[in-house]
Amino acid sequence: MNERRARADATTPPVLPDYGGACLTSVVPAILARDKEAPSWLPGPIHGARQVALLVLDGLGWDQVCGARAVAPTLSEGSGGCITSVAPTTTATALTSITTGLPPARHGVVGYRVRVHAGRPDDDGEILNVLKWRTGRGDARRTVPPTAFQTAPAFGGKAAPAVTRSEFASTGFTAAHLSGARLVGWSVPSTLVIAVRDLLAAGEPFVYVYYDGLDKVAHEYGLGEHYQMELRSVDRLIGDLVQVLPPGAVLAATSDHGQVEVGPAVRLPTGDLFDMAEMFSGEGRFRWIHARPGALHDAVAAAEDAHGHEAWVRTREQMVDEGWFGGGLDAEVAARLGDVALVAHAPVAFLDPADTGETRLMARHGSLTAAEVEVPFLAWSKS
């Protein structure tokens, strides 16, 4: 990985998503409309393809692709290039933008951990873990109905097949970001290949495929030899998928976000911020502070003073004005976010004591450095 791209500084601006252009929000709409209009960033093999299988490889940044030729030659030879993820560069937000074709401001899945039930009398709300669809009270599928939380159908309402891990079928997040899709489960990569082969052979014009191995390995082991070995496996998976393509079909691949090696460089926000906060949300590289009434100005000043050398400090309103989320936020979506955020530009992470699952991750994402925002959009056809 290019260390310069992972380590920005306070004078380097965030890499903002290219909403409406070469961005994850445009991938599925561009594929579905490939016979009508083809933007310049759409990989060549997709133009005029009879069928397209879109493989989403969780946790594969453009930096990792550029350094992968020795271990992943098939991946490296794909046609296409680099596009942008969304803000924050986190799985829950990015996958929802891929499947719905909408920016976070519109679909409302604006983070990994977001506040819900805010505004109730004598209740500051609680934090929903979107991937697990749980709050501190447990399973939240009844108290936070997924299809009410995120109302846009997947894939423009076309009921396309979505090939994903079998255990994800009943989750709240699947209901939220794959609403209306036809779920096809897989348990090991070989069954994923067979599922895609059979769907394409049956004439499906578009097949969505999700694989999460790279992200799991990066979180547990970082971006070293374990990640490189998983890239070898992904390369074989791509090769196997290409081999089962019927005539006129194309395999495309993208990712939800890149990665930054953080290792043990984790810390709590300054103690002053704890005194000013009702709660924290978000994740380590995009940590939201929910300020106590009247404390916002002091929280911004304390965050700048303690962490401005390693993070961009922005209020929610500043982010909206700068276009981070792809538009304005309605009141319900705005209430899911904090008031001010620490968005790491150095390879560090900011912990929330209420989120114990984050304490030992080696590689991370969420921020708007180039290493996290820039992802591949590639394609292959069968020779």
Tens of pLDDT, residue by residue over 306-335, are 999 999 999 999 999 999 999 999 999 999
123 domain-assigned: no
Q: Over the range 237-276, which residues count as b (16 or more CB within 10 Å of their CB) and which as e? A: bbbbbbebbeeebbbbbbbbbbbbbbeeebeebbeebeeb
Percent of the chain predicted with pLDDT > 70: 95
* pLDDT of 166 higher than 70: yes
117 domain-assigned: no
Q: What is the pLDDT of residue 37?
A: 78
Domain holding 303, by residue range, is: 266-363
| Same domain (yes/no): 289, 251 | no
| Same domain (yes/no): 161, 215 | yes
Question: What is the CATH number for 96?
Answer: 3.40.720.10
37 domain-assigned: yes
Per the prediction, the chain carries an average pLDDT of: 95
Contact present, 286 and 93 (Cβ < 8 Å): no
- Taking the CB of residue 94, how many other CB atoms lie within 10 A of it? 28
Q: What is the pTM of this model?
A: 0.96
* pLDDT of 194 higher than 80: yes
Q: What is the pLDDT of residue 120?
A: 61
* pLDDT of 221 higher than 50: yes
Tokens found for residue 148: 């009410």
Helix (H) or strand (E) holding 76: helix 73-76
Torsion angle in degrees (nearest 10) through CA of 340, 341, 345, 347:
150
| Same domain (yes/no): 253, 280 | no
Beta strands 113-116 and 126-129, pairing class: antiparallel
Tokens found for residue 223: 């971006």
Q: What is the pLDDT of residue 6?
A: 53
| Same domain (yes/no): 92, 158 | yes
129 domain-assigned: no
60 domain-assigned: yes
* pLDDT of 119 higher than 90: no
Q: Quick one: 20 exposed, middle or buried, by C-beta within 10 A (0-12, 13-18, 19+)?
A: exposed
Tokens found for residue 362: 């080696």
Report the distance separating Cα 265 and Cα 320, nearest Å: 29
* pLDDT of 186 higher than 70: yes
Tens digits of residue pLDDT in 248-259: 999 999 999 999
Q: What is the pLDDT of residue 1?
A: 41
| Same domain (yes/no): 206, 326 | no
| Helices assigned H by DSSP within 77-186 | 91-100, 104-107, 146-149, 172-177
| Same domain (yes/no): 29, 140 | yes
| Same domain (yes/no): 81, 31 | yes
